[in-house]
A and B are shown apart, each in its own frame.
Chain A
Amino acid sequence: MSKRLLGLILVLPALAVIVLLFLVPLAASVVGAFVADGRYGLANFEKAFALYTQDIIFTVVIVSFSTFIIGALSTAIAGYLTLGENPRAVAILRWLYRWPMFIPFIVVGQVLRTFLAKNGLMNNMLIGAGLITPMQASGMLDWRGIVIAFVWKQTPFVTLLLAGAMASLDRGTIEAARNLGASRLRILLEIVLPQVATTLVVGLILSFVTMMSVLSVPLMINAQSPTMITADIAFRINAYGDYGVANALGLISLGVTACVAWIYLRQTMKERA
């Protein structure tokens, strides 16, 4: 038996798993998106856009906005971990910021539902503190709740990547800037961030893709219209058994994430050129 054949046999189980459990279902879904009433065509997409255009825009805007806030917050936290001069504050922050990473999305949704509701914990605290009257209390269980849940859950992940990248920078580049009189904010924005920009973009893209696929948070916090594509997909399948439109919606969200990945790839290619 030739060596090549042996190698092929050795890799076969892994290959089979990927093909059978991943590629075949993916291909089936993609093909399924173009099949309606036993015929090939764009009927599923027409229906999906007719019913859910608003939800698609809502999803892209919500996830983009969350991504932006996650970027700003994680830069601030990682920046403080790197440049902070109070060792105790840095230690506390370092210990604290990771916790949300270990909490599943569904639990985040549930926690925030009880926290952000009209008669939830947050409003009770604000009323108790005399900051608002019960009449002014309003729930945040709409797009704001989803953004809060996403930011709360994903910021630690991006911060973890970013703080790691910042820690491995040559400290000299920071000290040289300090030596010339740069403030900490300027060092963060002009010296540190440009050197870890690639890591930040990677972290944000991974977060973007993760948020695009979360079902539990929109279901828990905001199940009314407009909602996110994932909730629509679940609804098409569970309520109507309509796999065609569900597949079309899936392909649309895949298209959105592919755009983001393409932006990233183009940027890294440009950097290497």
Chain B
Amino acid sequence: MNDEAFLDIAGVSAGYGRTPVLKGLDLSIRKGEFVALLGSSGCGKTTLLRAIAGFVQPSGGAISVAGRNVTNLPPDKRGMALVFQSYALWPHMTVAQNIGYGLKLQRKPRGEIAGRVDEMEALLGLSGLGARKPGELSGGQRQRVALGRALAIDPQILLLDEPLSNLDARIRLQVRHEIRSLQQRLGITAVHVTHDREEAMVMADRIVIMNAGRIAQQGTPEEVYNRPASSFVAAFMGAENRLVLTGHAEASRFGILEGSDNAGCLVPLDGRPLASGSVEARFRAEAVELLPAKSRENPSEAVLELAGRVVTVSYPGGLWRHAIKVGTAEILVDAPRAFSPGEAVKVRIPHQVLFLFNSREASPPPKPVSRSGVESRFLEVSEA
């Protein structure tokens, strides 16, 4: 699908037994690109990685590297190295033996292996640890040995299966940057599986969000964060607050009708394919403004204003977090100062951070058909 596609996944389906996990998935990755596969457990991201690596045989579709079809090749003939979530280091071998094993299998001369192992140890800050067994290393060091073992064979593609999930929170933040800068320095193509949104954001050039065996959205971290294509992606990227509103689409704007708890407003459509009717609104707790209800200050035009009442207040650090009852829904809103429980408040959501969707992502674009009843009923269902 792309001329410069280096790793190309075309219509790949895979499953375990009769359970389909991947459903005709397409993905194209450029040379030197760092792609994060992001999704909750069971979404198929690890299965996709294992299919790329050659440990899961796809039931359909093709995987090719630099134009060469590798779908039926064994794992070692694909020019890829996989870093496992558990590191999977060989406990009976030393660090140097672990890192050098791939080269030993390639029948490289002993001197060359030793040189390459030294190089890897220096690159990963493992110098002086070559004679230790994995059991004598810290989690972060083990992780780097696993990385060194994968990189020693000089793979074209590095596959990372949640390599940071077994590390302490503090070390994880550091290793993120280490892996990213290493990948950039070596210019290696990397596919990284994670369920940690922030990890994907800081490490990847492109984020591929997966849901139920399909790609829900892909794009740069800014794109998926600021322009989520569906309600699922918006929620996954942190816009957990959800309200159901009604509105109508105009030429380039979308008018939200005044409701029992919200004022009417006009927001730019900005290329979004929104149809008139019921819409799902999503926004982040930290992206909105919280004001006392009696505030006289008028909102600017493209701002949605909600009326609600504070239920609880907590302090997670930095900002105060308020649970606010708006009609029957409850939303979370951050503010620099604390409002007291029971206080009537206004919530203002600027149009840039207000994500609107027609209904569930599965809904087809509205078609000009006579059976209009079908569509309106669908919207009612999604509202419930």
- Cβ of A180 and Cβ of B88 under 8 Å apart? no
Structural contact, A191 and B105, CB atoms closer than 8 A: no
Cβ contact within 8 Å between A176 and B105 = no
Contact with B along A157-188 (1 / 0, CB 8 A): 00000000000001011011111111000100
Q: A170-B88, A172-B86, A195-B92 are in contact. Are A178 and B105 (CB under 8 A)?
A: no
Stretch touching chain A among B75-83, B233-241, B333-341: B75-83
Closest to A180 in B: B102
Give the docked Cα–Cα distance between A191 and B91 (Å). 9
Q: Is the CB of A181 within 8 A of B106?
A: yes
Contacting residues, chain B, for A195 (C-beta < 8 A): 90-92
Answer whether residue A194 sits at the interface, using C-beta atoms and an 8 A cutoff: yes
| A194–B55 alpha-carbon span in the complex (Å) | 23
Whether B101 pairs with A180 at a CB distance below 8 angstroms is: yes
Q: Are A172 and B84 CB-contacts (below 8 A) given A179-B53, A180-B102?
A: yes
Q: Bound state CA distance, A181 and B74, in angstroms?
A: 9
Asked whether B256 is an interface residue with its Cβ less than 8 Å from the other chain, the reply is no
Task: Please give the distance in Å from B193's CB to the nearest CB on chain A.
Answer: 14
A180 partner, pick from B81, B85, B86, B89, beta carbons under 8 A: B81
Given A180-B153, A181-B102, A181-B105, the answer on whether A173 and B90 have CB atoms closer than 8 Å is yes
Could you tell me the distance between the alpha carbons of A174 and B92 in the complex, rounded to whole angstroms? 13
Q: Is the CB of B89 within 8 A of A173?
A: yes
Interface positions, chain A 167-218, Cβ under 8 Å from B, are: 170, 172-173, 175-182, 186, 191, 194-195
The chain A residue with its CB closest to the CB of B86 is A172
B92 touches A175 (CB 8 A): no
Q: Is the CB of A177 within 8 A of B92?
A: no
Provide the residues of chain B in CB contact with A175, threshold 8 Å: 55, 75, 82, 84, 88
Residues of chain B within 8 A of A172, CB atoms compared: 84-88
Look across to chain A and name the residue whose beta carbon is closest to the beta carbon of B81.
A179
- A194-B92, A195-B91 known; A178+B75 contact, CB < 8 A: yes
Inter-chain contacts of B242 with A (CB < 8 A): none
Report the count of interface residues on A (CB-CB < 8 A): 15
Bound complex: CA of A182 vs CA of B86, how far in Å? Answer: 20
The reply to whether A179 and B90 form a contact with Cβ atoms under 8 Å apart is no
- Could you say which residues of chain A place their CB within 8 Å of the CB of B75? 175, 178-179
Given A173-B89, A180-B153, residue A186 in contact with residue B105 (CB < 8 A): yes
Q: Inside 8 A of B101's CB, which chain A residues have their CB?
A: 177, 180, 182
A191 touches B90 (CB 8 A): yes
Assembled-state Cα–Cα distance A182/B54 (Å): 14
Chain A residues lying within 8 Å of B81, measured Cβ to Cβ, are 179-180
How many whole Å from A85's CB to the nearest CB in chain B? 11
The one of A176, A191, A194 in contact with B149, judged by C-beta atoms closer than 8 angstroms, is A176
Report the minimum CB–CB distance from A248 to chain B (whole Å). Answer: 43
Partner of B84, one of A176, A180, A194: A176
Cα distance A230–B76 in the bound complex, in angstroms: 53
Q: For residue A173, which residues in chain B have a CB less than 8 angstroms away from its CB? A: 88-91
**Residues in chain B near residue A170, CB distance under 8 A:** 86, 88
What A residues does B77 contact at CB under 8 A? 181
Is B76 a contact partner of A179 (Cβ separation < 8 A)?
yes
- Tell me if A179 and B82 are in contact (CB < 8 A): yes
Q: Which of B82, B88, B92, B101 has the most CB of A within 10 A?
A: B88
Q: Which of A131-148 contact B (CB under 8 A)?
A: none
Q: Which residues of A are found within 8 Å of B80, using beta-carbon distances?
A: 179
Chain B residue nearest to A174 in the complex (CB): B88
Q: Which of B74, B88, B92, B106 contacts A176 (CB 8 A)?
A: B88
Interface residues of B in 317-356 (CB under 8 A from A): none
Cβ contacts under 8 Å, A179 to chain B: 53-54, 75-76, 80-82
Contacts of B86 in A (CB 8 A): 170, 172
Q: How far is the CA of A194 from the CA of B85 in the complex (A)?
A: 22
Q: What residues of A have a CB within 8 angstroms of the CB of B85 in the complex?
A: 172
Chain A residue with the shortest CB-CB distance to B74: A178
CA A179 to CA B50, docked complex, whole Å: 11
Q: Are B76 and A178 in contact (CB under 8 A)?
A: yes
Known contacts A170-B88, A172-B86, A194-B92; A182 and B105 CB within 8 A of each other: yes
Q: In the assembled complex, which residues on chain B have CB atoms less than 8 Å from the CB atom of A180?
A: 76, 81, 101-102, 105, 149, 153
Q: Which residue of A lies closest to B54 (CB)?
A: A179
> Which residues of chain B from 61 to 105 have a CB within 8 Å of any chain A CB?
74-77, 80-82, 84-92, 101-102, 105
A186 to B55: give the CA distance in the assembly, Å.
18
Interface centre among A172, A178, A179 (most CB of B within 10 A): A179
A201: shortest Cβ distance to chain B, in Å? 14
A178 to B84, CA, bound (A): 13
Q: Which residues of A contact B88 (CB under 8 A)?
A: 170, 172-173, 175-176
Which residues of chain A have C-beta atoms less than 8 A from B92's C-beta? 194-195
Chain A residue numbers with a CB within 8 Å of B74 are 178
CB distance from B15 to the nearest CB of A (A): 16
CB distance from B125 to the nearest CB of A (A): 21
Q: A194-B92, A195-B91 are in contact. Are A176 and B82 (CB under 8 A)?
A: yes
Q: Which chain B residues (111-157) contact chain A, with CB distance < 8 Å?
A: 149, 153
On chain A, the residues within 8 Å of B54 by CB distance are 179
Nearest opposing residue in chain B for A183, CB measure: B105
Please list 5 pairs of residues, one from A and one from B, whose beta carbons are closer than 8 Å in the complex, sorted by A's number.
A178-B55, A178-B74, A179-B54, A179-B75, A181-B106
Residues of B within 8 A of A (CB): 53-55, 74-77, 80-82, 84-92, 101-102, 105-106, 149, 153
A residues sitting closer than 8 Å to B (CB atoms) are 170, 172-173, 175-182, 186, 191, 194-195
With A176-B88, A178-B75, A182-B101 known, 17 other A-B pairs at CB within 8 A are A170-B86, A172-B85, A172-B86, A175-B55, A175-B75, A175-B82, A175-B88, A178-B74, A179-B53, A179-B54, A179-B82, A180-B81, A180-B105, A181-B102, A181-B106, A191-B90, A194-B92
Per CB-CB distance, the 5 closest pairs between chain A and chain B, nearest first, are A172-B88, A181-B76, A180-B102, A172-B84, A194-B92
